[in-house]
Amino acid sequence: MKTVVACRTEKEIDILREANQFVAEVLVTLAHMVEPGVTTEELDAEAFRLIQAMGGQPSFLGYHDYPKSTCISVDEVIVHGIPGKRKLKAGEIVSIDVGVYHRGYHGDAALTVPCGTVDAARQRLMNATDLALSRAILAARVGNHLEAISRAVESTCTEAGFSVVRSFVGHGIGTRMHEEPQIPNFVTGEKGPVLKEGMVLAIEPMVNAGTHDVRILRDGWTAVTADGKPSAHFEHSVVVREHGGEILSATPKLVWGQRVA
């Protein structure tokens, strides 16, 4: 089956950038709220409030009956953690994933921040996942095959001694949150489509400290590591450009949860 990937006009990209800048603002606000004792539903409530105030709609709310505006995935939760009564504890890492629908287009991005001080292993895991995303974005350049993105993620993570989740993928994004192509975070043996100027991709490495195996909880959403070890997740929506991906969901640089610039 031939994969058809849309190329967006600069007008469409301007709207996608607006949607993604809403996402980025929500992410940074929530990242600053992360501290011991805060519940994941408190984070979600703030995201809902902010997205409403911006005049956008939460992309995740109601998507295949998903009940909340964000996914908050703590420590052993890989992705799709449903916000609820869970209280954050010092030493845990917290993935925050947000989608905003605005003027007909979706923005989607995620980051992982520490709650209080975390151990060196978790810091390394977050660093490697963030670096994998940066390298993948550099690979999102005109003329590369999609596989270059997958390879950049996989090699960065395996060289650091971590394992890449295989059962969830990145995706094209535009008028729908999930569009073609699917973007695996590992090399599958298929080169995939040639990247063209104006394709918009949500690249999202999910990386585990231990096994790559995933278990889904009884709620039908929450994806946890099979061995209970921590997992990190970073995501940006990017436009394929001549020299690499242009990040639409750019946030101020967050280092260990501290805003440094």
* Binding stretches for Co ion (CB under 5 A): 108, 202
Q: How far is the CB of 237 from Co ion (least distance, A)?
A: 8
57 — phi, psi (to 5°)? Answer: -125, 140
At 136, the amino acid letter reads A
- Beta-bridge partner residues of 237: 202
CB count within 10 Å of CB 256 equals 13
Give the largest CA-CA distance in the chain. Answer: 49
Q: Which is nearer to ligand MF3, 171 or 229 (CB)?
A: 171
For the chain, the straight-line distance linking the first and the last C-alpha, in angstroms and rounded, comes to 45
CB contact set of 215 (below 8 Å; sequence gap of 6+): 223, 224, 225, 226
Calpha distance 79→69 (Å, rounded): 14
Q: How far is the CB of 171 from ligand MF3 (least distance, A)?
A: 6
Quick check: 106 binds ligand MF3 (CB under 6 A)?
no
Residues 145-204 that bind ligand MF3 (CB under 6 A): 171, 202
Q: How far is the CB of 167 from ligand MF3 (least distance, A)?
A: 12
Partner that binds at residue 63, options Co ion, ligand MF3, none, CB closer than 5 to 8 Å by kind: ligand MF3
Q: How far is the CB of 64 from ligand MF3 (least distance, A)?
A: 6
Interface residue with ligand MF3 among 24, 31, 71, 140 (CB under 6 A) is 71
At 75, the amino acid letter reads D
Q: How far is the CB of 72 from ligand MF3 (least distance, A)?
A: 11
Interface residue with ligand MF3 among 4, 36, 63, 220 (CB under 6 A) is 63
Q: Which is nearer to Co ion, 117 or 167 (CB)?
A: 167
Q: Cβ distance 179 to 172 under 8 Å?
A: yes
Q: Which two tokens mark 150?
A: 């997958």
Cα Rg of the chain, angstroms: 17
Residue 95 three-state SS: strand
Q: How far is the CB of 60 from ligand MF3 (least distance, A)?
A: 3
Residues 22-61 that bind ligand MF3 (CB under 6 A): 60
Q: How many CA atoms lie within 13 A of 252 on its CB side?
A: 12
Q: Cβ distance 204 to 110 under 8 Å?
A: yes
Interface residue with ligand MF3 among 8, 17, 80, 102 (CB under 6 A) is 80
Q: Which is nearer to ligand MF3, 76 or 97 (CB)?
A: 97
Residues 234-253 that bind ligand MF3 (CB under 6 A): 235
Binding interface with ligand MF3 (CB under 6 A): 60, 63, 66, 71, 80, 97, 108, 110, 171, 202, 235
